Amino acid sequence: MKKVTITGVRQATIVEVPTPHAVGDWALVKVHAIPMCTEYKAFAGGWQSQHLGHEAAGEVVEVAQPGRVKVGDRVVAMPFYPCGKCPRCVAGDFIYCQHGYNYEAYAGTPEGQATYNEYLLKPGWILPRIPDGVSYELGSLAVCGLGPTFGAMDRMGVDAFDTLMITGMGPVGLGGVVNARFRGTRVIAVESIPYRVQKALDLGAEVVIDPRDPQALEQVMELTGGVGVDASLDCSGTVAAERFCIDATRRRGQVAFVGECHDDLAIKISPDMIRKGLTLHGSWHYNLSLFPKIMQVIQESPVVEQLISHTFPFSQVQQALELCATNQTAKVILKPKV
Ligand SMILES: [Zn+2]
Ligand SMILES: [Zn+2]
């Protein structure tokens, strides 16, 4: 099978490797749609990478034993190789599993563990089915496109009575606008890149605030009767935005952190937490039980198709990664067979 590797700075190469086979309760999936996520960082940095990508939708083409999926099923591949047995996995919060498989030891090959591939291997229980009539491209938004923000909104319980601020209108933040508008929630977005500002407005954000504006916090207060938003959601992964979420959220409000960040955020316990009564959530991906609801967003949202801004065949992966690195995109989908 063909797969994409990073072989140098801004250098993506398609190589031929052995196709893996179904083993135990792991099924072989022929990949049809690969939403591109953070791989452009490895591409731009020249980090040599043999296994790229963690998002995909495709068709089950081989099983080793009867199980949760069968040949012909159209499925979404969830990230990682969780154990399926620990309390977190059994509860559907497999993303927090601490006992994940050693891929190569179980599969007998290092190939098929990533998604920039023609085929991948996955435990059947984390291959939920795509409903009839939903394309692979739209179905694949049930990974990072719509998933992390859906999980965070479920945790916070935001609804049509709430104003939600979302910082960072990359593909994940834009998916957050789609999810929030589907719930009837009013959205204040925060973003500075013009392409993404316009996309946020197109998807239903009421207003987009420029985080570089010294009056940004005052603008949020003006839009919320002087009290701040009911909830906020950071999708930018920057300390400045995380701080802005805490400052712009009302007393007894909630903040969810979705954007990955490895820098230190300073929190003052008395003014930020105790006297404000704030609740902070760390939220990664979503509980598997929410999958049908995410599929309902995909089937019924009038704007969800606009979340996909570009589609490229495998042969143009170099151009696709170059484009992702410009930040002038919403979700970009790579297709192995075009
Ligand atoms: Zn587990
Ligand atoms: Zn992702």
Is pLDDT at 83 greater than 60 in this prediction? yes
What is the average pLDDT value for the chain, to the nearest integer?
Answer: 97
The pLDDT tens digits of the residues spanning 255-272 come to 999 999 999 999 999 999
Q: What is the structure's pLDDT at 247?
A: 98
The whole-number average pLDDT for the span 318-337 is 96
- Region of residue 18 (phi > 0: left; psi between -120 and 50: alpha; otherwise: beta): beta
- Region of residue 134 (phi > 0: left; psi between -120 and 50: alpha; otherwise: beta): beta
Model confidence at 337, in pLDDT bands (50, 70, 90)?
Answer: confident
Taking the centre of ligand 2 as the mean of its atom positions, its distance from the CA of residue 54, in whole angstroms, is: 6
Taking the centre of ligand 2 as the mean of its atom positions, its distance from the CA of residue 256, in whole angstroms, is: 18
**Would you list the DSSP string of 62-101?**
E-SSS-S--TT-EEEEPSS---S-SHHHHTT-GGG-SS--
Distance of CA 257 to the CA centre of its chain: 13
Q: What is the structure's pLDDT at 150?
A: 98
The pLDDT tens digits of the residues spanning 28-43 come to 999 999 999 999 999 9
Among all ligands shown, which has an atom nearest to the Cα of 95? Answer: 1
What type of residue is 331? Answer: K
The pLDDT tens digits of the residues spanning 274-316 come to 999 999 999 999 999 999 999 999 999 999 999 999 999 999 9
Taking the centre of ligand 1 as the mean of its atom positions, its distance from the CA of residue 78, in whole angstroms, is: 14
d(CA 250, CA 227): 5
Q: Model-level pTM?
A: 0.97
The whole-number average pLDDT for the span 231-244 is 98
Q: What is the structure's pLDDT at 338?
A: 56
d(CA 63, CA 27): 5
Taking the centre of ligand 1 as the mean of its atom positions, its distance from the CA of residue 94, in whole angstroms, is: 6
Assign domain 2-144+287-335 to a CATH class: alpha beta
> Which regions of the chain carry the CATH code 3.40.50.720?
148-282
Q: What is the structure's pLDDT at 168?
A: 98
Taking the centre of ligand 1 as the mean of its atom positions, its distance from the CA of residue 84, in whole angstroms, is: 5
> Which regions of the chain carry the CATH code 3.90.180.10?
2-144+287-335
Model confidence at 98, in pLDDT bands (50, 70, 90)?
Answer: very high
- CATH code assigned to 148-282: 3.40.50.720
The pLDDT tens digits of the residues spanning 44-53 come to 999 999 999 9
Q: What is the structure's pLDDT at 258?
A: 98
